């Protein structure tokens, strides 16, 4: 069977056995799961589904998947999707990252890389077309991002596309990211720790062949220019990138995390894209491979004689390593963002945990005795120290390195409190810190059920919403992450679908996307999330909910007192599940599973129902 | 699409400092003189270096002679790749202007020999450029 847009072939690396091989994926599998997030979910389900609950995300039995999609390399903008069993949620998170490795994998002749097992000693994977080697990385182990990039370059004699981890991943920090190109991170899911658990420091891929053939070349070229022209016209976004969110979200829509989400509004002009551009940007625009949009900007700041570089800070970094920590001095936010990049930490997840820690300190739930020093809002020095302690698991940093949810449970235990007493300050959903877009003002894009009903918890790039068969639904993100399209260069769904069909020759309709393909991916992700384990198990009756903070009325700004109610949230979730063909607990019904061709899930779901006591 | 067969390559040694690397058509064409099989010639109209795939033996003498180490090799091509200026209508320039970056422009070839200074290995350009924006 001829396949277009993909090769139908993955590179499989077994680090325990030190062996590499090729793995065929049937064209029908692509048609059913598309690629990227969808394909990852399928592979994880097929291989680990039966024993999911007992698989330790940081053990050798977990897999790390690095997958492209059929649109990788063709659609303007570039991403790949990192996945595996998540050490944060216990489910599957599709974690997208811009990286040259994406097109390089394809030009090397593969659609992705699957890493199984674990090495005893530090290694890195080197791929140059047909040549695949597992190489010694003992000299690279311990290096931070900037040093590592240089060392790899001198070891290889040239610049080669790579994915890597920093010290945080090596130290199995659950908020560690898989990094690329200095400032790029696949943060959600915690896959930096999965790489670390496999003693895998980096994956270098140099591909020199062509991309796989496309089905309808002329139509593809026409659509490509249509998309390029549309995307290139987004001039505001090109000029300001996401940094403008620091004003748009923080001031206008009032939905930016401020001091662990106590507030969501600010009016500090110095904390806006306009002020930041003037003072800190040294290069604008800056783009990823093949991208007509260029949302990135290189910023530079000197703090105490040390020079820091980062991208932006883009909105999420500025919000989570700035306002969420009560820090509004931009030079210091740039420094924290650069530090997170260098240590290989997800700035969102780590900033979420740090803000949580400062609030606990303020409330006396943790003290100087626990931490070793004082924690204060906006105090760069203690925040920097805290971030480093997390990356190296030093002292109390070891507790916070487990991420907000697990740290909350541990603090409660140490204080002899019921865990709810600490969890009420944890702004996370199912182990994943909520992205920097609040729901209380109702002026930002996420709906009140965005996180509570998401299969990727607090992930702001994969939000649930009504109606379930529209771009508001999480199916839409699942689709973009499976075709693998950057969400900033994506255009209206109809055109992306046409694009997909021109490349693959499939003929997927909107109906098929929402009723079959997307729903299939989402349903499997939901089942794996509820199977969870080994240390977390989510109960839909308890955990399909917002962090408690989101039920407090907004205390300041233009939408003061605006609030969402739990009743409203629970009702909308019920409606959303119903529209998806899931039962009231969000478990796909037997009928839905059969319709989607997921016959082997039927029994698993029966067991799941029994275990939850809802059969 | 075949990124590594592109005759223009972008290197990035420092964040935000990409280095486009391609043939600058040296006035004295050292690559052409270095080629033992006469696979290289100069297009009279555009001044671009043309490669005759049937004559090229991939001996890489041209790369040695090129001050910028420009001629490229890639898997599946049995000859070197050198920018042919798209016979006068550069596709790279068209694409770059289309998205509004305007980093590439078509200019008239300067008559002096100073142009040769532009043919440099990307590492060197990166060092100079990087020093400028990062110091
Ligand atoms: S829009 Fe931004 S994130 Fe997306 S590919 Fe382009 S530069 Fe990268
Ligand atoms: S590589 Fe080909 S073009 Fe270059 S010098 Fe040798 S034969 Fe001539
Ligand atoms: S830049 Fe290199 S390839 Fe181009 S004309 Fe000069 S020597 Fe030849
Ligand atoms: S002018 Fe044509 S051949 Fe030369 S680099 Fe540009 S696109 Fe390639």
Minimum mean pLDDT range among A5-9, A339-343, B12-16, B81-85: B12-16
Residue A301 buriedness (CB in 10 A; 0-12 / 13-18 / 19+): buried
Comparing CB atoms, the residue among B1, B99, B133 nearest residue A232 is B99
Minimum distance, in Å, between the CA of residue A472 and any CA atom of chain B: 29
Comparing CB atoms, the residue among B4, B16, B98 nearest residue A298 is B16
Model confidence over A219-230: pLDDT tens digits? 999 999 999 999
**Cα A388-A391-A393 angle, rounded to 5 deg:** 100
Model confidence over A78-123: pLDDT tens digits? 999 999 999 999 999 999 999 999 999 999 999 999 999 999 999 9
The CATH number that applies at residue B103 is: 3.30.70.20
Model confidence over A375-385: pLDDT tens digits? 999 999 999 99
Chain B residue numbers with beta carbons less than 8 Å from the beta carbon of A302 are: none
Q: Is B8 in the pocket of ligand 4 (CB under 6 A)?
A: yes
**Cα A486-A348-A265 angle, rounded to 5 deg:** 100
Residue B26 Cα to ligand 3 middle (Å): 6
DSSP-derived secondary structure for A437-482: --SSSS-SS--TTTTTT-TTTT-TTS---SSTTSTTSHHHHHHHHH
Euclidean distance between CA atoms A422 and A409, whole angstroms: 7
Residue range(s) defining the domain that contains residue B30:
3-13+22-134
How many residue pairs from chains A and B have C-beta atoms closer than 8 A? 62
Euclidean distance between CA atoms A83 and A424, whole angstroms: 29
CATH class, domain A234-433, is: mainly alpha
> What pLDDT is stored for residue A599 in this prediction?
97
For A88, half-sphere exposure in the C-beta direction (CA atoms, 13 angstrom radius) is 37
Residue B23 Cα to ligand 2 middle (Å): 15
Residues 6+ apart with CB under 8 A from A450: A437, A439, A460, A463, A464, A465
* Proportion of chain A above pLDDT 70, given as a percent: 100
Does residue B55 sit at the A interface (CB-CB below 8 Å)?
Answer: no
Across the interface, whether the CB atoms of A73 and B76 are under 8 A apart is answered: no
Rounding to the nearest 10 degrees, give the CA dihedral for residues A312, A316, A317, A320: 150
Q: Is B91 in the pocket of ligand 4 (CB under 6 A)?
A: yes
Q: Whole-model pTM?
A: 0.97
Could you say which DSSP state residue A252 is in? Answer: I
**Nearest to residue B107, comparing CAs of B122, B90, B129, B95?**
B90
Domain count for chain B: 1
* Proportion of chain A above pLDDT 90, given as a percent: 99
Chain A residue numbers with beta carbons less than 8 Å from the beta carbon of B3 are: 73, 103, 107, 211
Q: Is B49 in the pocket of ligand 2 (CB under 6 A)?
A: no
Residues 6+ apart with CB under 8 A from A303: A331, A332, A335, A380
Q: Is A185 in the pocket of ligand 1 (CB under 6 A)?
A: no
Query: Distances in Å between the alpha carbon of A316 and those of A165, A366, B77, B113?
Result: 20, 27, 44, 50
Comparing CB atoms, the residue among B2, B15, B100 nearest residue A232 is B100
Q: Chain A residue with minimal CA distance to B13?
A: A159
Model confidence over A187-215: pLDDT tens digits? 999 999 999 999 999 999 999 999 999 99
Could you say which DSSP state residue A372 is in? Answer: S
CB-CB contact of A77 with A488 (8 Å): yes
Among A74, A75, A76, A77, say which to mutate for ligand 1: greatest number of ligand atoms within 8 Å of CB.
A77
Give residue limits of the domains in chain A: 9-206, 234-433
Q: Chain B residue with minimal CA distance to A149?
A: B13
A9-206 CATH pick, 3.60.9.10, 3.40.50.11540, 3.40.980.10, 3.30.230.10: 3.60.9.10
Q: Is A33 in the pocket of ligand 1 (CB under 6 A)?
A: no
Residue A294 buriedness (CB in 10 A; 0-12 / 13-18 / 19+): buried
Q: Report ipTM for this prediction.
A: 0.93
Q: What share of chain B is helix, strand, coil (3-state, %, to 5)?
A: 35, 10, 55
The count of other CB atoms within 10 Å of the CB of residue B117 is 9
Our measurement of the distance from residue A463's CA atom to the centroid of its chain's CA atoms, rounded to an integer in Å, reads 12
**Nearest to residue A177, comparing CAs of A86, A77, A116?**
A86
Euclidean distance between CA atoms A411 and A419, whole angstroms: 8
């Amino acid at each position: 069977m001829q396949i277009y847009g993909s090769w139908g072939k993955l590179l499989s690396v077994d680090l325990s056995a030190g062996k590499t091989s090729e793995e065929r994926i049937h064209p029908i599998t692509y048609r059913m799961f598309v690629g990227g997030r969808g394909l990852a979910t399928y592979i994880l389900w097929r291989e680990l589904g039966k024993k999911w609950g007992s698989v330790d995300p940081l053990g050798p039995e977990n897999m790390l998947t690095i997958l492209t999609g059929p649109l990788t390399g063709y659609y303007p903008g570039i991403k790949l999707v990192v996945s595996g069993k998540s050490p944060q949620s216990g489910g599957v998170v599709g974690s997208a990252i811009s990286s040259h490795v994406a097109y390089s994998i394809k030009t090397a002749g593969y659609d992705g890389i699957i890493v199984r097992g674990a090495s005893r000693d530090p290694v890195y994977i080197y791929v140059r077309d047909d040549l695949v080697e597992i190489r010694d990385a003992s000299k690279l182990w311990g290096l931070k991002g900037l040093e590592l990039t240089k060392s790899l370059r001198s070891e290889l004699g040239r610049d080669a596309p790579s994915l890597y981890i920093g010290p945080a991943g090596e130290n199995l920090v659950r908020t560690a990211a898989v990094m690329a190109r200095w400032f790029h991170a696949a943060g959600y899911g915690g896959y930096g720790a999965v790489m670390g658990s496999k003693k895998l420091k980096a994956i270098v891929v140099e591909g020199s062949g062509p991309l796989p053939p496309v089905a309808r070349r002329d139509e593809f070229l026409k659509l490509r220019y249509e998309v390029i022209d549309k995307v290139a016209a987004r001039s505001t976004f090109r000029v300001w990138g996401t940094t403008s969110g620091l004003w748009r979200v923080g001031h206008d829509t009032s939905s930016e995390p401020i001091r662990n989400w106590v507030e969501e509004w600010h009016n500090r002009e110095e904390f806006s894209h306009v002020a930041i551009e003037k003072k800190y940007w040294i290069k604008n625009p800056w783009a990823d491979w093949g991208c007509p949009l260029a949302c990135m900007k290189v910023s530079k700041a000197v703090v105490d004689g040390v020079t820091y570089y980062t991208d932006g800070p883009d909105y999420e970094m500025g919000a989570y390593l700035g306002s969420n920590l009560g820090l509004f001095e931009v030079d210091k936010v740039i420094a924290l963002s650069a530090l997170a990049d260098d240590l290989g930490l997800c700035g969102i997840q780590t900033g979420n945990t740090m803000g949580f820690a400062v609030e606990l300190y303020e409330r006396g739930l943790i003290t100087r005795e626990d931490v070793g020093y004082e924690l204060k809002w906006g105090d760069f020095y203690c925040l920097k120290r805290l971030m480093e302690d997390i990356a190296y698991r030093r002292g109390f940093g070891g507790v916070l390195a487990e991420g907000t949810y697990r740290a909350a449970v541990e603090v409660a235990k140490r204080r002899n409190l019921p865990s709810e007493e600490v969890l009420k300050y944890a702004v996370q959903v199912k182990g994943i810190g909520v992205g920097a877009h609040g729901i209380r003002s109702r002026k930002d894009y996420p709906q009140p059920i965005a996180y509570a009903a998401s299969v990727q918890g607090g992930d702001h790039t994969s939000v649930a919403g009504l109606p379930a068969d529209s771009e508001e639904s999480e199916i839409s993100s699942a689709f973009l992450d499976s075709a693998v399209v950057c969400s900033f260069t994506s255009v209206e769904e109809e055109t992306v679908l046409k694009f997909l069909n021109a490349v693959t020759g499939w003929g997927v309709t909107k109906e098929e996307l929402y009723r079959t393909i997307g729903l299939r991916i989402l349903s499997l992700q939901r089942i794996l999330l509820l199977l969870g384990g080994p240390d977390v198990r989510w109960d839909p009756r308890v955990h399909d909910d917002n962090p408690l903070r989101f039920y407090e009325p907004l205390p300041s700004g233009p939408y003061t007192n605006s609030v969402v109610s739990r009743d409203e949230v629970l009702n909308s979730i019920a409606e959303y599940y119903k529209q998806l063909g899931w039962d009231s607990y969000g478990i796909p019904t037997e009928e839905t599973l059969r319709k989607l061709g997921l016959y082997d899930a039927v029994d698993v779901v029966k067991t799941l129902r029994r275990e939850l006591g809802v059969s | 699409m075949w990124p590594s067969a592109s005759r223009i390559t972008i290197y990035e040694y420092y964040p935000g400092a990409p280095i486009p690397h391609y043939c600058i058509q040296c006035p004295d064409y050292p690559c052409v003189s270095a080629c033992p099989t006469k696979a290289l010639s100069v297009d009279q109209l555009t001044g671009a270096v043309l490669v005759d795939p049937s004559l090229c033996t991939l001996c890489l003498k041209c790369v040695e002679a090129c001050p910028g180490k420009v001629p490229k090799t890639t898997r599946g091509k049995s000859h070197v790749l050198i920018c042919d200026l798209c016979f006068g209508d550069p596709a790279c320039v068209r694409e770059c202007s289309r998205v509004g970056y305007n980093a590439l422009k078509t200019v008239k070839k300067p008559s002096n020999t100073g142009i040769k200074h532009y043919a440099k290995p990307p590492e060197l350009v990166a060092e100079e450029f990087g020093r400028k924006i990062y110091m």
